[in-house]
Structure formats: structure tokens, C-alpha cells
């Protein structure tokens, strides 16, 4: 499943403690996140930019990686709370990086994004440790809700 039930409208999302940010031309509502360390690994700078802007606006520390080599180097040098990982990176498959990440002392929450998802790819991604799978282009409202949900589950 692609967690289709997590896409509330902006009016449903608003409430106490919710901020609305204009990010990349779209308004995104999300609860204020505690500071988090986030890695966004995607070959396309245009795909990374709105995600990076969204989380930096929330006070998160965000690192960017255009390929698996850079992402792996960052993952080994810093612990991350969240990794947003494209399944197709230029130097290796994002699923292979996800497999490598299992060797880390602490596995971050991983959102794996696909150009053309399938139930088989989703099943493989979950078996390798991905918490969520989503389609590209990333819907920022949906991503914010996924992150809120994962942060709530991991803080308990």
C-alpha cells in the first residue's frame, strides 16, 4: 500500500501548532517538527530543492546527495533521523543503498521514492527497511504527514 489515507486537505491539516509555509510555489501545512537531521538523496537538484526548503524552514538540518556515493559518505559520517531516497540514482540503485544502510548502527526512517512504483518494488523496499514508499514527484503535503507519522512512532 502507498499509505493513501495520509493525504489530508490543507483545511483538515490546520489546527493548533500547525504552520503553513509557501514552499516551491505550494502551501504546505505541517506541525512544527523538533529539530531533525535529514538526508535527501536524489540526482535531480530540482527534485531535491522543494524537499530541502520544506524541512529547513522547519528548523531541520538537511544534507543533500546527488548520488549513492555521496549519500553513503554522509550516512557514515553523521546519524540521520530521516532519509528521503530516490530509488534511481546515477551511480547505483537506491535499493542497494538501502541494503547497505542496514549495516549502520542506527537505521534512520527511510522514505523511498520511485518514478514508476509497483507492489513488488514496494514489498522489496519494505523488506530492506524502508518505512514508506511514495511516487515522484513528491507531494510535499503528503511527505510532511509521513514524516510527522514516523516521528510520532519513533518517539514512543
Q: State pLDDT tens for residues 74-97.
A: 999 999 999 999 999 999 989 999
Average pLDDT over residues 88-107: 90
18-23 and 132-135: which strand pairing?
Answer: unpaired
Paired strand residues for 22: 27
Measured in whole angstroms, how far is the alpha carbon of residue 107 from the centre of its chain?
14
pLDDT of residue 35: 73
Assess whether pLDDT exceeds 70 at residue 33: no
pLDDT of residue 11: 25
Euclidean distance between CA atoms 37 and 48, whole angstroms: 15
* Confidence band of 34 (pLDDT split at 50, 70, 90): low
Q: Which residues fall within 8 angstroms of residue 125, CB to CB, at 6 or more apart?
A: 87, 95, 98, 112, 133
Structural fold of domain 20-155: Rossmann fold (3.40.50)
Q: Which residues fall within 8 angstroms of residue 98, CB to CB, at 6 or more apart?
A: 85, 110, 112, 125, 128, 129, 130
pTM of the model: 0.76
pLDDT of residue 12: 28
Run of H or E including 91:
none
Euclidean distance between CA atoms 30 and 141, whole angstroms: 8
User: Going along 25-103, which residue ranges are E strands?
Assistant: 26-31, 37-41, 61-65, 82-86
pLDDT of residue 25: 46
pLDDT of residue 75: 96
Percent with pLDDT over 70 in the chain: 74
Amino acid at each position: 500500500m502507498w499509505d493513501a489515507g495520509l493525504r489530508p486537505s490543507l483545511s483538515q491539516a490546520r489546527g493548533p501548532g500547525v504552520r503553513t509555509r509557501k514552499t516551491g510555489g505550494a502551501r504546505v501545512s505541517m506541525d512544527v517538527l523538533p529539530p531533525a537531521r535529514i538526508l535527501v538523496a536524489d540526482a535531480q537538484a530540482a527534485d531535491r530543492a522543494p524537499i530541502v526548503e520544506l524541512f529547513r524552514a522547519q528548523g531541520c538540518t538537511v544534507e543533500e546527495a546527488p548520488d549513492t556515493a555521496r549519500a553513503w559518505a554522509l550516512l557514515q559520517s553523521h546519524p540521520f533521523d530521516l532519509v528521503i531516497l530516490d530509488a534511481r540514482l546515477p551511480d547505483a540503485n537506491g535499493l542497494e543503498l538501502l541494503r547497505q544502510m542496514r549495516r549502520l548502527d542506527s537505521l534512520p526512517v527511510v522514505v523511498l521514492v520511485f518514478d514508476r512504483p509497483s507492489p513488488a518494488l514496494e514489498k522489496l523496499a519494505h523488506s530492506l527497511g524502508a518505512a514508506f514508499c511514495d511516487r515522484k514527484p513528491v507531494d510535499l503535503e503528503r511527505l510532511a504527514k509521513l514524516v510527522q507519522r514516523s516521528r510520532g512512532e519513533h518517539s514512543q
